[in-house]
Amino acid sequence: MRRIVAVISVVALLSLMTYSYIEHDKKDPDMDYILTNPEKFEGKEIDFCGRAEEIEPSFIKLRLMEAPYTCINVTGVHSGIKKGDVVEVLGTLKGVDEVKAEKVFVIKKLEYSLIFIRSLPAIPFVLYLFFKKWRFNFKKFMFEEVENA
């Protein structure tokens, strides 16, 4: 009985993984797939994230933060975006490299860098906790748990 349940579970997981693999580009396409097949997504709503490269009165040029790392022109943006800011856009694809923005979320350049800097104070604390519980054995060349920790 256990073997039947195990086999059914494995078959179910494998079929779900296969379905997810096959249908991924239809349900949640990445920008590389969207830009190589723009005719499938023209006029449809897409979302992506990029760094502001050029700011013009009529559009903003964003460099994508995911593959293919190209530039896309975004129109319909009226907020105070500066060069170097990280911008997340929800908009309608109008061509190969143009998007009409409907919603825009801006992360200022310094705030984006602070995301990574904020985690630096936690590193010594985590290392302390790790080395309090574990010691490196050079003879076996592996970490071993300390018994009196």
Range of the domain at 48: 31-112
Is the whole-model pTM more than 0.75? no
Sort residue 31 into left (φ over 0), alpha (ψ -120 to 50) or beta: alpha
Residue 6 counted as domain residue: no
Residue 7 covered by a domain: no
Q: How many C-beta atoms lie closer than 10 Å to residue 14's C-beta?
A: 10
Confirm whether 107 is domain-assigned: yes
Question: Domain tally for the chain?
Answer: 1
Give the pLDDT confidence score for residue 18 in this predicted structure. 94
Amino acid identity, residue 63? Answer: R
Tens of pLDDT, residue by residue over 91-131, are 999 988 899 999 999 988 877 778 788 888 999 999 999 99
Tokens representing 32?
């590389």
What 8-state DSSP symbol labels residue 56?
A: -
What pLDDT is stored for residue 149 in this prediction? 55
Examine residue 143 and state whether it is found in any structural domain, yes or no. Answer: no
| Per-residue pLDDT tens digits for 30-50 | 898 899 889 989 999 999 999
The answer to whether residue 134 scores a pLDDT higher than 90 is: yes
Minimal CA–CA distance to 41: which of 52, 31, 54?
31
